[in-house]
Amino acid sequence: MKTFFRIAYLAIAAIFLMNCTQQTEITEKEGYIGASDIRIDDGRMSPEVLLSLGRLSDPQLSPDGKWILYGVSYTDIAANRSCRNLFLSPAEPAGDGQTPTKIQLTKEGKSVSNARWSKDGTTIFYLQGGQLYKAPFTDGKLGAARQLSQWEADISEFKFCPDESRILFTSTVPNKKLKQPKDFDPALDKAKAYVTEDLSYRHWDHWVLDIPQTYVAPFGEGLVDSSQAVNILGDDAGKYQVPNEPFGGIEQICWSPDGSKIAYSCKKTETGKEYAFSTDTEIFLYDLESRETVRIPMDGGYDTDPVWSPDGKRLAWLSMARNGYEADKTRLTVADIDEAMMVSNIRDLTAGFDYNAAGPVWSADSKQLYFNALVEGLQAIYRIEVLDVSGTHHDLAANAVRITPEDAWYDFNSPFAIRNGTLLASWCSMQFPNELVAVNEADGSFRPLTDENGPILKQLKPCRVEAEWLPTVDGKKMLTWIIYPPEFDEGGTQYPAIEILLGGPQGTLSQGWSYRWNYRLMASQGYVVVLPNRRGTTAFGQEWCEQISGDYIGLNMQDYLTAARYIKSQPYIGKLAACGASYGGYSVYYMAGIHGDTYDCFIAHAGIFDEAYLYYETEEMWFPNWDNGGLTEYAYTPGETGPRGDGKTFGGMQQAGSPWSDAPKAVRHYSNSPAANVTKWHTPMLCIHGMLDFRIPYDQGMAAFNAAQMMGVPSKLIIFPEENHWILQPQNALFWHREYFDWLDRWCK
């Protein structure tokens, strides 16, 4: 079944007109980076074009509802850096045929972040260089800034209580469990070593030298007084993380409407072995006056993103049920909270909804919640009535309303503001990066509010996108996006194709935009890009998602081959490459040993080569412990330890997904690791890895390359010494893209 791109890119171009930036006299600071004026003569997207695009983020509606404050980051490739500054746009969409207005507020040489309006709209607060600043706002202009903090460890993010009498902010304290030579002997202040006697000593891309913490301090006209700042963890300060590493932020902490309490998410387990094996993150309530903390009792999975209702009577948050399973269904949960922090009537609003809820936002009257969810390959905005019937689990399938239309191929994020029946949100697609949009709540119609990248995108030739629902080997249907090169001619010469093997393994190929794996860019190099939403993707129900756990070598690999056979059956397709990152890299390495002659070349970025060895060296142990086959036998409570025990408990921890487990799925998983099939490798392979990748350490990429070399397979290794799981520095990103396309062109064109 074929569906053509319903809203053609040319139509988008007609909506997104040339951006109009109003310039006022703003002092340009040293190091300032402005918008690119790149000219594209051939209409072809390139890596340089991708890096020239502005990256819009963190929109905030003004108190009077007239303006949207947001930041845009621009990149200077030669300087190898980006810089973020502040802008304004009207909260009302421009009229038909009119140009969206953008007003620049700052031209700083150091990035400005976390910008927030004062409650009266006359001041804008922001962070720069780890400190808090404020600047007066008048008639669309920002006055001279004044520094308000001198916090030693830097402030990461902040939130004011509703009346602005207090401020909460996040910072760090030293991790006492990871020591350095100077901790043993102060005279060894130039020695460099890390010493630990427990797990969780590094995370994502850094050694855990510091622990994130959250503080509350009085706020007035003067400096934020660090001597009056209170750590909300009290006696447990420095033991636990608030927010949670490595990606948690201020969204994990919220004020009550009266400013007397704080709700926050925390895994109250010290960094160490238990921390590494658990996802048991809970919601806590903290009373500022009594400094009392109350835990909301839940199932034992991941609970996060609390949001208090405007009337102060309820708290909503996102919740997973099962400890150790990071891809569990994300439920939208609500509880009643009284003045004494008594919690009652905890209920899952999404019991009948087979998809993951995200980004909960309350309506002004506290009667409804808005959220976004990936459903059948698209991210949409939903609304649900919060029915107050004690003990009842409401069926979201009957109670939720989809606001954004099903036939609009865009990804919509949850609204950042709701006004007069209009949802203000951000959106994107495979055709354009993040912009702001106004969505009519009544009929789902929408109009763009910004056109940050219009001047660049309008110079590019459009790429057509189609959706195919392909039959799988077990009789199901799989959504597969296909993106065609500009000016694609089905009856002309043959085109090479790229099949994307998705990472995760739980994730979704939706209409999202990426600056690292950009499918429009790939198509613009003359490739047909194939994006199969194989087993394990999260937008097609929990059964489809969960099937992949413990079956990495099974149905999802057949799904990839189904998509490959389909695209190769088209008369306009020539050679085919398979490319993937993370679990997608695992898929590349595994597919290299089983594909026969399906693919003509491979690219693996940050891929898993040897699953058994990875279990010894990765840092979040709950993930392989569950996904590598321990799921069906999994029970978090350990059994009898030792060789005469239950075969799954070792060192006091339940490790049913470990290489030494006797769980049947784990045994099958490790015996079929990609490293077991290297003697069958024969297809050219590019291996890429970052040395700061602690999730899948770079020796996995080196081992795969070494294996390819020893098998006589044409192969190439690229190691980035200053990058993590992702390639982020501008010049490194440019080099990555050039090498990526050079390898594809060498073997597929």
Q: Which residues are catalytic?
A: 582, 693, 725
> What is the CA 164 to chain-centroid distance, rounded?
30
Q: Which amino acid does the sequence have at 194?
A: Y
CA–CA separation, 78 and 238 (whole Å): 40
Q: Which amino acid does the sequence have at 100?
A: P
3-class SS of residue 227: helix
Asked if 505 contacts 548 with a C-beta cutoff of 8 angstroms, the reply is yes
Number of H helices, E strands in the chain: 15, 44
Asked if 115 contacts 69 with a C-beta cutoff of 8 angstroms, the reply is yes
Q: Which amino acid does the sequence have at 108?
A: E
Work out whether the CA dihedral 697, 601, 579, 551 comes out positive or negative: negative
Asked if 685 contacts 709 with a C-beta cutoff of 8 angstroms, the reply is no
- If one counts every other C-beta atom within 10 angstroms of the C-beta of residue 41, the result is 6
Longest dimension (CA), the chain: 77
Asked if 634 contacts 549 with a C-beta cutoff of 8 angstroms, the reply is no
Is 172 exposed, middle or buried, given 0-12, 13-18 or 19+ CB atoms closer than 10 A? middle
Give Cα separations from 556 to 191, 473, 478, 569, 668 (angstroms).
48, 10, 11, 20, 16
Q: What contacts 157, CB < 8 A, 6 or more positions away?
A: 114, 127, 169, 170, 249, 250
Is 507 exposed, middle or buried, given 0-12, 13-18 or 19+ CB atoms closer than 10 A? buried
3-class SS of residue 230: strand
CA–CA separation, 703 and 693 (whole Å): 15
CB-based burial, 613-624: b 16+ in 10 Å, e otherwise: bbbeebbbbbbb
CA–CA separation, 433 and 448 (whole Å): 13
End-to-end C-alpha distance for the chain, whole angstroms:
29
DSSP conformation letters of 579-631: EEETHHHHHHHHHTTT-TTS-SEEEEES----HHHHHHH-S-THHHHIIIIIT
CA–CA separation, 230 and 227 (whole Å): 8
CA–CA separation, 373 and 359 (whole Å): 9
Q: Apex CA 144: angle with CA 140 and CA 147, to 5°?
A: 125
Extract the runs of DSSP E, i.e. beta strands, from 46-165.
Answer: 55-61, 67-76, 81-90, 101-104, 113-117, 123-128, 131-138, 141-142, 146-147, 157-160
Work out whether the CA dihedral 79, 85, 90, 91 comes out positive or negative: positive
Any idea which residue has 């708290």 for tokens?
A: 315
CA–CA separation, 266 and 264 (whole Å): 7
Give Cα separations from 174 to 198, 210, 240, 364, 676 (angstroms).
16, 4, 12, 40, 42
